[in-house]
Structure 1
Amino acid sequence: MGKSKSRNRVKHRNDPTGKAVKPPTDPELAALRQKSILPVLKDLQSPELKARSAAARAITNLIENTKTRKLLLREQIVKILLEQTLTDSSVETRADGWGILQNLVVEEDVDFCIHLYRQDILTAIESAGKSILEALNSETRPFGNLPKLQQGPIWTTASSIISLISSLAEAQDEINQTITGHIAIPKFLVDLFANPATPNHIQCETLNCLAVMLEDNKLLATQLIDREGWFLNDLMMTKSNFSDLKGVAACGVLHSVFSSMRWYQHNTPMENYTDASLIPTLVRAMDQTKTQDNKSPNESESENQNQAIQLALEITMSIASSVQDAFKDESKHGHAIKSKEFKGFDDSGLMDEDAEPMEDIENDDVGADDDEDEMDAEAPEDETGEMDEDEMDADMAMITADAMEISEAPTEDSGLHLLVQTAAPVILQLATQNNEHARHAIMAVSNIAWMVSMVDFSDDYPENTYDLWAPMAQHIWDQIISSFLTNGTADLVDATMIAGLAWAVSLSVGGKIKIKPGEHRALMALYKESRPLTEQELRAANFILDLDDAFGGLAVRCIGALGTLARSPAPIELNRDIGVFLLTVLSGPSDTPPAEIVEALNQLFDIYADRSYAFDEPVFWGNNFLQRLEEVQYKVKRMAKDIDKRHFPELRVRADEVVLNLDRFLAYKRKEKKRAQDD
């Protein structure tokens, strides 16, 4: 038997991280490396404290430049920081090291955070956090007795670490779960906030970091409730006593906890532990006339106030979005939530003998994934060939309504009611001002409008919620949307935002918006001007658009807004203009994005859902919409089957639904017409 080779071969290998870095081949970069990078890295590792401090300041400046930053990373600055700078005996040097890492995270993308995580940065953070708490709680050397120059590096380090934790938590769910598992890190944040020596700005940073970590993180929320119950009580007091940045930041943490635990008005285990309790604090923070206390703030106060307003708007947007989750969580049957999008319906006996056969479409090989995707077969023919009026009404209801229901109506102190009654007027003031808050304010108003549009205001629902909203919706249209449509802009991000607002506001009142002459044509022109956003525009729109949502673009939003304006009781001429426009979208070029076709069809389904509408006979039948829709059936079918459901699953599902529903919608309209003739 031959001798086995030794398994311990590591000692014969060189440390790959210790290899000399090859200089760049580009002459300019090579010169930069020699002149700026190598000397400063040498000083960063100098035994002289002054040299290390000077090097840290120089590196901070170098990080701002892309070329020099990449050269620093190439020279393994992260390795130097982790192995030397962050373990330095000098607290000032350690603070400099954490500051450099924070700046690198700010300038680099998410992949850099993942790289730090794989380099075990969490262990270093845990150790640094422990050292900070020990310094704050030292009995032998009380922190309050230390000179300001010695306190400064502690707070600088704390701020950098908090920023790093927040960036790491946002970078990847796996990282956030690992941070949660490092019990010492969340505890460090909680204890740092609670320490009486902690400055106000550090407390705010701590709360903002916890809010990020708690997003969709039930494990961490449960840990805080079980182990740090006093902390939540403290936050409830903070948000009640303060309406500045600290009070708003406390609202952010509480909102994240409530959302993760799914605590809503109907099921909260502790009274007032719901989003509704946060709205008064957020409104006070957003109301500039109150927060300024009739005096001109200094620069620092003004910055804090602007940060509080911005954060309050973001939290309010999230609360508005979570109202839908509260509705879904209700277990009893109550008010139906109306849906802005087509949901499909029962496939029972809707085809008649006059329906166009679809076999030629079904058998056409038009998609790469046809072999694994079979569309529903055409509906069985109605044996009687007739549908009575009740059946027809029920059938159409399945096309234009969502089957989801919610339980008992929200009370007047519910989140949605408070958003409409107290938050919306203040947010609207911000939205009409030409300042840094206008965009976020418009998006917050839009979110509230979407939530209102989803509620069926039946007799059990507090009627004054809708009564308060309806005139406000018209005011929003007059003050913001009309102004935009009149003046226009070359900024497609703003255009996308306003089109979404127009859709949400119009839908929230069932299309009952009084528009000025020609405004619907301005929306049509905006649709024609739409184009894919550039990479720069996408980055600018990051806080506005869901960039992964095919239905979030400008064109689809214009289609949605126009469709709601054409609903009954829209004037016949307005309805005709919009109906023809939607058909033009369907008959447009073959490269028309599928999302636009899907939304145009869904809007047509809603607009012409009932023959009793005044425009049904003169527009739908008078302009031969039935034939024009039949002519695009094949195109729509082909469009759906061309969508790769592995890469675009939601888009494919919605496209498949609209193919099926178009067929059934036409069958319904034929039977509807036949019955009208028989009558």
Structure 2
Amino acid sequence: MGKSKSRNRQKNRPGPTSKPIKPPTDPELAAIREQRILPVLKDLQSADLKTRSAAASAISNIIEDTKCRKLLLREKIVKILFEQTLTDSSLETRSAGWGILRNLALEEEADFCIHLYRQDILTAIEGTVKTIIQTIESQDVPFTKLPKPQQSLAWGLTSSIVSLISSLSEAQDEIVEAISKLSTITNFLFGLLSFDSTPNDVQNEVLSCLMALTEDNKPLIQQITEKDAWLKKLMTLKASGVLAVPACGVLHNIFTAMGWSDHNMPFEGVSDAALISTLVTSLEIDRSHNGTNGNASYSSPDQILQLALEITASIATSLQEALEHSHEKAFEGFDDPPEDLDEIDADEDINIDGEEGDEEGDHEMNDEDIEADMDLVTGGGPEDDDSTGEEPTLDLLVRNAAPKILALALPDGSGSEGIKNAALSTLNNIAWTVSSIDFSTGHLDSLKKFWSSLAQQTWDQIISLVLASNTADIELASTVTSLAWAISRSVQGKITLKPEEPQKFMALYQASKTLPPTSTGDSKKTDTEDAFQSLGVKSIGVLGSLALSPAPIPLNRQIGVFLLTILSALPETPAADTVEALNQLFDIYADSSYAFDEPVFWGDDFYKHLEDIAPKAKKMAKSIDKRKHEELRARADEAVLNLGRFLRYKKGEKEKSNL
């Protein structure tokens, strides 16, 4: 199914040409329509070939102007293109017509491409692709023998078609599926990569198109991997040259979909580790002359850099998912579907004293029972780490890529804001990946040491600077807080802080309560994703990580009290904030051997406070409509159930220590 929902349409609508289009009421728009739009549309439908071609070229040039573009659409430019321009006897006019559609697709929202798809644009594209292939592969007149203007015209048409396919691919899953079934298009794209005379800018368009088509598209990727020549061509392109970075993007999509990794390769070199050296090299390009070298936007250093950062970030995310999947047995407590509070007796799920529910009573828990309860809460379980050697992709990400990315992300650096933000996002992804690594086996000690130093450097050079600036930029604050959480979690809170920094994160949490839900999230995400990506949740996460053992007792107490204060504010506290605060407390006070456990958890009566919070937390969870917010409800139910387990565990732990 596609991503977009079909809209209700009126039945028996009058035809679009049944009555004239009303001019806009705005005087400025009316003037533009009369002076610029209507004349050029009239010329586009002229009987004179040169007039039509000139009009098509003129329209292509004014589409970037929003007012002109909207007026053209209002005057049914797409209908004119479909019925006249794209079937014109002149190749020049047809090429300009496809250029207009390409530019409209680039400027308009996804709905425009969906409209084109529903108008059967793929059939028209397929027909034009066959014409281009015939021209390129002609035996009668070899393509290289054609006059230069004719070659340029063919490549211009090719570029428009490929770019339009890219835009269509990014609009809707249903369209991607339809394109993937057209072997003519797939063969055409890889044929362009293999044809010696294809200009670099067209090859770049092809690779960008393939990146869009191969994202989460295993059926197409399987077609590609079955063609040895296609895969080899991509591997050749990624080795060097101006097309190396986009080729890396396509290969990364292939490796991810096929599950090819450092320890699962059908043959040497087909994992993300093989891409990182190319990507790192691109991070070092000279951006002092950020031009396009004439006429090809693909050669813009900032664009190459932006793409390299995006691919590196995606590699980090894919690696994290692979690592978590390979160690999923170590997270059995979290992987089990949480029980539904609606189906559990009110006294059973938060049974603290063991006087109700189980007849044998929780007060007689033995050591195994205590540990089993806590494993369920913290996600602990039997370790099954088969990794005894190095992890090439992880090693290259941390040692080679991360330092270069840090330099690009520095607030006082010379790069553009777009590059800095992309670098921050990539660094954030790498940090989250490292935070999922189990370093306890010791085989990655060298990497752990390197990362610990880089983590502190990142904190000092980025996080501390942004905190000290008291920025009013909420998006920046949210990004940096996410990075701070990942960094602190990746080193178990072992960060040298400035004295005021914990209070800064507490202030960010308080500030988050005044923000609308969409201020720190992507509006296209689900409500649950937004909730758990909020500035408030991130602030709680950072503070929880900083309070982990061996945090100093005063810092641990300060953060612990703050988290309890958040929970005590229920029911005003948002559900996602409640879930995160509980989870952080479970991790912080998971073991009585921690130096702060006795003086803080027991000395400051955290146990009693959590007992009082338990019924309010349960009420909060049950108030979430599971039909509208399924994941949020599931995570809230899990946190409440774990609260009961945690309190039983802490009580049993305390009784054991008093024996």
Which TM-score band applies after superposition, normalised by the shorter structure? Answer: 0.7 to 0.9
Task: Supply the AA of the counterpart residue of 2:555.
Answer: L
**Distance (whole Å) between structure 1 residues aligned to residue 501 and residue 132 of structure 2:** 60
**Residue in structure 2 matched with residue 300 of structure 1 by the alignment:** 293
**Distance (whole Å) between structure 1 residues aligned to residue 596 and residue 566 of structure 2:** 20
Among the aligned pairs, what percent are the same residue? 50
Going from structure 1 to structure 2, the CA distance change for 1:283 and 1:626 (only over 3 Å counts) comes to: same
**Distance (whole Å) between structure 1 residues aligned to residue 489 and residue 651 of structure 2:** 28
**Residue in structure 2 matched with residue 92 of structure 1 by the alignment:** 92
Superposed displacement of residue 144, structure 1: 2.3
**Distance (whole Å) between structure 1 residues aligned to residue 330 and residue 107 of structure 2:** 44
Going from structure 1 to structure 2, the CA distance change for 1:25 and 1:102 (only over 3 Å counts) comes to: closer
Task: Supply the AA of the counterpart residue of 1:467.
Answer: K
Q: How many residues are aligned here?
A: 629
Task: Supply the AA of the counterpart residue of 2:508.
Answer: L
**Distance (whole Å) between structure 1 residues aligned to residue 457 and residue 134 of structure 2:** 56
Any stretches of 5+ residues in structure 1 without a counterpart?
1-12, 348-356, 363-377
Contact 1:132–1:154 (8 Å) recurs in 2: yes
Farther-moved stretch of structure 1 (32-41 vs 520-529): 32-41
Going from structure 1 to structure 2, the CA distance change for 1:156 and 1:224 (only over 3 Å counts) comes to: same
**Residue in structure 1 matched with residue 244 of structure 2 by the alignment:** 247
**Distance (whole Å) between structure 2 residues aligned to residue 587 and residue 219 of structure 1:** 51
User: Within 5 Å, which residues of 2 pair with 1:371-450?
Assistant: 380=358, 382-383=360-361, 385-401=363-379, 403=381, 408-409=386-387, 411-412=389-390, 414-432=392-410, 433-436=413-416, 437-450=419-432
**Distance (whole Å) between structure 1 residues aligned to residue 198 and residue 456 of structure 2:** 47
Task: Supply the AA of the counterpart residue of 2:611.
Answer: E
Correspondence for 1:559 among 540, 550, 561: 540
Correspondence for 2:618 among 596, 616, 637: 637
Farther-moved stretch of structure 1 (598-607 vs 634-643): 634-643
- Is residue 2:582 matched to residue 1:574? no
- Is residue 2:500 matched to residue 1:518? yes
**Residue in structure 2 matched with residue 83 of structure 1 by the alignment:** 83
Superposed displacement of residue 200, structure 1: 0.9
Contact 1:265–1:274 (8 Å) recurs in 2: yes
- Is residue 2:583 matched to residue 1:615? no
Correspondence for 2:258 among 245, 249, 261: 261
- Is residue 2:310 matched to residue 1:310? no
Superposed displacement of residue 591, structure 1: 4.2
Going from structure 1 to structure 2, the CA distance change for 1:474 and 1:545 (only over 3 Å counts) comes to: farther
TM-score normalised by the chain length of structure 1: 0.85
Superposed displacement of residue 454, structure 1: 0.9
Going from structure 1 to structure 2, the CA distance change for 1:570 and 1:141 (only over 3 Å counts) comes to: same
Give the match's secondary structure for 2:222. helix
Contact 1:328–1:406 (8 Å) recurs in 2: no
**Distance (whole Å) between structure 2 residues aligned to residue 446 and residue 207 of structure 1:** 27
Farther-moved stretch of structure 1 (598-607 vs 432-441): 432-441
Superposed displacement of residue 675, structure 1: 3.1
**Distance (whole Å) between structure 2 residues aligned to residue 579 and residue 126 of structure 1:** 63
- Is residue 2:250 matched to residue 1:270? no
Contact 1:98–1:157 (8 Å) recurs in 2: yes
- Is residue 2:494 matched to residue 1:497? no
Superposed displacement of residue 206, structure 1: 0.7
**Distance (whole Å) between structure 2 residues aligned to residue 482 and residue 490 of structure 1:** 15
Going from structure 1 to structure 2, the CA distance change for 1:379 and 1:563 (only over 3 Å counts) comes to: farther
**Distance (whole Å) between structure 2 residues aligned to residue 91 and residue 380 of structure 1:** 82
CA deviation vs aligned residue, 1:104-145 (integer Å, no higher than 9, x gap): 222221111111111111111112222222222223333223
**Residue in structure 2 matched with residue 234 of structure 1 by the alignment:** 233
CA deviation vs aligned residue, 1:280-331 (integer Å, no higher than 9, x gap): 111111123xx67xx967652995322221111111111111113333554x
User: Within 5 Å, which residues of 2 pair with 1:540-559?
Assistant: 548-559=529-540
Task: Supply the AA of the counterpart residue of 1:231.
Answer: W
**Distance (whole Å) between structure 2 residues aligned to residue 179 and residue 431 of structure 1:** 38
Any stretches of 5+ residues in structure 2 without a counterpart?
1-11, 340-344, 351-355
Task: Supply the AA of the counterpart residue of 2:259.
Answer: R
Going from structure 1 to structure 2, the CA distance change for 1:381 and 1:574 (only over 3 Å counts) comes to: farther
User: Within 5 Å, which residues of 2 pair with 1:76-475?
Assistant: 76-226=76-226, 228-240=227-239, 242=240, 244-288=241-285, 300=293, 304-327=300-323, 330=326, 358-359=346-347, 380=358, 382-383=360-361, 385-401=363-379, 403=381, 408-409=386-387, 411-412=389-390, 414-432=392-410, 433-436=413-416, 437-459=419-441, 461-475=443-457
**Distance (whole Å) between structure 2 residues aligned to residue 403 and residue 47 of structure 1:** 78
Give the match's secondary structure for 2:532. coil
**Distance (whole Å) between structure 2 residues aligned to residue 614 and residue 299 of structure 1:** 59
Superposed displacement of residue 515, structure 1: 0.9
**Residue in structure 2 matched with residue 16 of structure 1 by the alignment:** 15
CA deviation vs aligned residue, 1:641-665 (integer Å, no higher than 9, x gap): 2222222221111011111111222
Contact 1:338–1:456 (8 Å) recurs in 2: no
Contact 2:521–2:530 (8 Å) recurs in 1: no
